[in-house]
Copies of this chain bind each other. A is one copy, B any other.
């Protein structure tokens, strides 16, 4: 399949820009949206029409890449990138490609509307991918599952169950490939035979953290490993935060499983809210430090508390994908009218009493008691004898009492 020249030029420019400038850069995003990627690349490489800070950063990158400042610098960079991708069994995808998810472009809005943490939040210029799945299609029905690295057994249980349950129902699990909630969620999806996408904050060739090397390998073989950063890029704190915006943008909603008060997962949830995605949080014990961040978020308006995969799907799915309400088993007593319920309440459990005694206890007339007790007997609630009525014993009496108060 041949690529049209303009498409190819656009693609080349976006690849080179993704390499030469740290991802998320708002100045670059504004420039590309104003003059197009091809012209933006020319200005960036030539160092004109851009701030000195950006120009300086580009010069440093060009030096590091060993590319000489000449007319076809962009092509040289993109060519290097393509070769490197091939070596690594990866591919590069830009907004000029069919595989590009339009959901990423919602980050333009985030960049414009609010700059959380004084940070650049523009959409990626390009992403590096490893894995057999098609990116846009894979993210079509996806949920991001995020949380702390230092999770408790509870957090591990929840991440695993939710990811498994969502993947089993055909939802892709997006996460960050880190220890704790991330890797547990990825694994849950893989175990369910479902799809999972790891959005990394370092070069595509890196297994970071090393403890997750095997899982990341498996994701690259069955799911998708995604990153905005060129090979050899190291993960750094600010890159994790920049990466988080992509985790939030990629999916229809973000679920936070366990998080301390300062967890980076709260940053991802903030992006989800900013992008008008569903911001979902799993509660936990109030005396668990790893749920403090969850509860702070749940006290914010617009955060949805979730306890089951079905409730997540109700949030992010199409109209009509409603969770079945949780209900205890329906009790036969629920069918009684208030008068009958009151009379039934007044019937002694073991000792038979007369309809008049029952009426006095219930605070109803003797006539109402005499009229309704035979009905209650017919329905199996009471049994009669010569002494009057007593409750028919049934095993759920204890449960019923708990529910009644």
A residues bordering B, Cβ < 8 Å?
21-22, 52-53, 55-57, 59-61, 63-64, 118-120, 148-150, 154, 157-158, 176, 178, 201, 234, 236-241, 244, 260-265, 282-287, 291-292, 295-296, 298-299, 304-305, 307-308, 311, 326-328, 337-339, 341-342, 345-346, 356, 359-368, 399-405
Contact = CB atoms under 8 A, between A and B. Distances in A.
A237 B405 contact: yes
Contact of A53 (B238, B368, B402, B405): B368
Contacts of A157: 287
A149 B402 contact: yes
B403 A176 contact: no
Nearest to A325: B296
Nearest to A294: B283
A52 B298 CA distance: 51
Nearest to A158: B286
A218 B61 CA distance: 76
Contacts of A405: 149, 176, 178, 201, 237, 240-241, 244, 263-265
B60 A363 contact: yes
Contacts of A311: 299
A365 to B, nearest CB: 2
Contacts of A61: 360, 363
B296 A326 contact: yes
Given A61-B360, A264-B404, A239 B368 contact: no
Number of copies of this protein chain within its complex? 2
A240 B400 CA distance: 12
Given A283-B286, A345-B238, A405-B178, A328 B260 contact: yes
Given A60-B363, A360-B63, A363-B60, A238 B118 contact: no
Contacts of A360: 60-61, 63-64
Contacts of A55: 365
Contact of A57 (B119, B240, B364): B364
Given A299-B304, A339-B53, A365-B56, A402 B148 contact: yes
A24 to B, nearest CB: 10
Contacts of A236: 342, 345-346, 361-362
A361 B154 contact: no
Contacts of A365: 52-53, 55-57, 59-60
Given A59-B366, A120-B338, A239-B345, 20 more contacts: A22-B362, A56-B368, A59-B365, A60-B356, A154-B285, A158-B286, A234-B361, A236-B362, A238-B338, A238-B404, A262-B403, A263-B403, A263-B405, A264-B405, A283-B286, A284-B286, A286-B307, A286-B308, A292-B307, A298-B298
